[in-house]
A and B are shown apart, each in its own frame.
Chain A
Amino acid sequence: MANIQHVEGQDKGKVLIYTLSTCSWCKKTKRLLKDLKVAYDYIDVDLEDMEEQDRLELIIMKFNPRASFPTIVINDTESINGYKPREIKERFK
């Protein structure tokens, strides 16, 4: 099972971000959500083992066919793909 990290904040629904520990856009996304005080979970996919990476990639591709990072999945139904500050602020205001 993936190692899911939780960041405290206000409950704005289920927010799970698929990230890479090395990626600057992912870091920016995490910082922005923190500034917006949104509670979220994240998985640093690059730190998972290969089998788990493959499994996670298939899940990400359901929301984001390019399987790029970050992919923010909200309530298991919708996603914001990539660091899109305007969209993120609008969605969580």
Chain B
Amino acid sequence: MIDQERINEYLKTLQADAENGGYLLNPDREFLEDLAQGLLENTDRYGYQACPCRLANGNMEKDLDIICPCDYRDEDLNDYGACYCALYVNESIANGEQEPEAIPDRRKEVLAKKSDPIKKGAAVSKTAFPVWRCKVCGYLCARKNPPERCPICKAQKERFEEFVF
């Protein structure tokens, strides 16, 4: 069990990060605390905050797409008004005008489509530097390697992908 004080502290940070990034959290405090507990349990168990509503593998490389905030957050917010866990919600849910609902998990479909990815470095670029895209917030930068942490949302280096256009 995670103690209440740690949950409260964690939620404060989560709230501040969400606000800074222009995101909104679920207004239901009990639900939020359940989610915070799950995220902290996963952090203790795996060493990273794997999505509490999905079955993590335990191998970070295989779980990169479901480290919260997951790769699917923005699309789910757009299509359903909430992320898969309903940790992040849109304005009308945040204001209590609408209830979040369980939504389908798009992960398996997206991963199946990605089974034939563009090989790293295979893209021919005319620019002096490759362009890197943060899969969490969409931040783009042109440099030899992705930054250690995204300067916008603080996601780790492994969450970046080479952006081909």
- Using a CB–CB distance below 8 Å, which chain A residues touch chain B? 20-28, 45-46, 50, 53, 57, 65-69, 82-84
Interface residues of B, count at CB 8 A: 21
Cβ of A67 and Cβ of B42 under 8 Å apart? no
12 CB < 8 A contacts A-B? A20-B38, A22-B39, A22-B41, A23-B38, A23-B53, A25-B102, A46-B56, A50-B58, A67-B55, A67-B108, A68-B54, A69-B53
Name A24's contact: one of B34, B42, B104, B108 (CB within 8 Å).
B34
B105 interface contact, C-beta 8 A? yes
Chain B contacts for A53, CB-based, 8 A: 55
In the assembled complex, the CB of A21 is this many whole angstroms from the nearest CB of chain B, namely: 7
Closest to B34 in A: A24
Query: Which residues of chain B (80-115) have a CB below 8 Å from chain A?
Result: 85-86, 102-105, 108
Task: Report the minimal beta-carbon distance from A90 to chain B, rounded to whole angstroms.
Answer: 15
Question: B38 — which chain A residues lie within 8 A by C-beta?
Answer: 20-24
Check B108 against A66 for contact (C-beta < 8 Å): yes
User: Which of B31, B41, B105 makes the CB contact (< 8 A) with A66?
Assistant: B105
Q: Which residues of B contact A65 (CB under 8 A)?
A: 108
Interface residues of B (CB under 8 A from A): 31, 34-35, 37-39, 41-42, 52-56, 58, 85-86, 102-105, 108
Q: A22-B52, A45-B55 are in contact. Are A66 and B34 (CB under 8 A)?
A: no
Task: Indicate if the CB atoms of B53 and A25 lie closer than 8 Å.
Answer: yes
CA distance A45 to B57 in the complex (A): 12
Contacts of A20 in B (CB 8 A): 38, 52-55
Measured between C-beta atoms, what is the minimum distance from B72 to chain A in Å?
A: 12
**A52 to B: closest C-beta gap in Å:** 12
Taking CB atoms, residues of chain B closer than 8 Å to A45 are 55
> What is the distance, in angstroms, from B33's C-beta to the closest C-beta of chain A?
9
* Chain A residue, CB-CB nearest to B33: A24
Of all A-B residue pairs in the complex, the 6 with the closest CB atoms, nearest first, are A22-B38, A82-B102, A22-B52, A24-B34, A23-B53, A83-B102
Given contacts A21-B41, A24-B31, A24-B35, contact A68 B104 (CB under 8 A): yes
Which residues does chain A contribute within 8 Å of B58, judged by CB atoms?
50
What B residues does A46 contact at CB under 8 A?
55-56
